Amino acid sequence: MTSDLLKGVNLYLIGMMGVGKTTVGQLLAQHLSYGFVDLDTVIEKAAGNKSITELFAEEGEAAFRQLESKVLSQVCAFTKLVIATGGGIVVRQENWSYLHHGLIVWLDVPVEILCARLAEDTTRPLLQDVDRTAKLQSLLQERQPLYAQADLRITVSKDETPEQTATRIIEAIPSVLKPGVSPAQLS
């Protein structure tokens, strides 16, 4: 069973905004009998219940990224969690030291699908008052080499449901974990 193979090690979901990390993460947590953490929700609470949009507007991206790293360092101390990270978690090198304590899963979704999913979303600070398609393409181009450092890459198709994605992840985990090898030994 996959949860036995994981030995309580956390699963970190990375990928662009809008790929479905939260939705898929909740499903994975249920399937694995793990807890679920949406890192952005924890960050908002740590910031005195300010939204991510407010944090970006009031303090800037650099301050947000610093708080994000601090929260990640605290969350990774726990085990048996599926953690949905923010899309930019990969840009700070120090975050990789925390992510590598678990199994890193990259949810990869084409930009065209992201644009459709985020068309009505006004809460994304990096997509305010810009050409969304161009911005998403630029961010993906910048982050793709970082996302590619994940232990597992799952490319999500247009018609795939979150449940199907979660199932594919669970089925793929044994291919990257061998009995007796911890996820930390993969890196």
Question: Whole domain around residue 162: which residue ranges?
Answer: 2-174
With respect to residue 179, please indicate whether it lies within any of the assigned structural domains: no
175 or 161: which carries more pLDDT confidence? 161
Q: Give pLDDT, residue 1.
A: 63
Cα 83 to the chain's mean position, in Å?
A: 7
Interatomic CA distance for residues 13 and 107, integer angstroms: 7
The percentage of the chain sitting over the pLDDT mark of 90, rounded to a whole number, equals 52
Of the given ranges (1-15, 69-83, 125-139), which has the lowest mean pLDDT? 125-139
Is pLDDT of 186 > 50?
A: no
Q: Give pLDDT, residue 108.
A: 92
Q: Give pLDDT, residue 36.
A: 98
Count of domains observed in the chain: 1
CATH assignment of the domain containing 149: 3.40.50.300
With respect to residue 55, please indicate whether it lies within any of the assigned structural domains: yes
With respect to residue 157, please indicate whether it lies within any of the assigned structural domains: yes
Interatomic CA distance for residues 113 and 126, integer angstroms: 17
Q: Give pLDDT, residue 61.
A: 83
Q: How many CB atoms lie within 10 A of CB 107?
A: 24
With respect to residue 180, please indicate whether it lies within any of the assigned structural domains: no
Q: Give pLDDT, residue 6.
A: 85
**Residue-averaged pLDDT of the chain:** 86
pLDDT 10s digits, 130-146: 677 787 788 889 889 99
With respect to residue 148, please indicate whether it lies within any of the assigned structural domains: yes
Interatomic CA distance for residues 16 and 85, integer angstroms: 10
- Among candidate residues 11, 36, 9, 40, the one with its CA nearest the CA of residue 23: 36
Q: Are 15 and 104 in contact (CB under 8 A)?
A: no
pLDDT confidence band for 177 (50 / 70 / 90): confident
Q: Give pLDDT, residue 157.
A: 87
With respect to residue 181, please indicate whether it lies within any of the assigned structural domains: no
Is pLDDT of 112 > 90?
A: no
Mean local confidence (pLDDT), 145-149:
94
With respect to residue 183, please indicate whether it lies within any of the assigned structural domains: no
Record the tokens describing residue 57, joined without a space. 């507007």
DSSP 7-51: TT--EEEE-STTS-HHHHHHHHHHHHT-EEEEHHHHHHHHTTS--
With respect to residue 186, please indicate whether it lies within any of the assigned structural domains: no
Is pLDDT of 181 > 60?
A: no
Q: Give pLDDT, residue 159.
A: 87
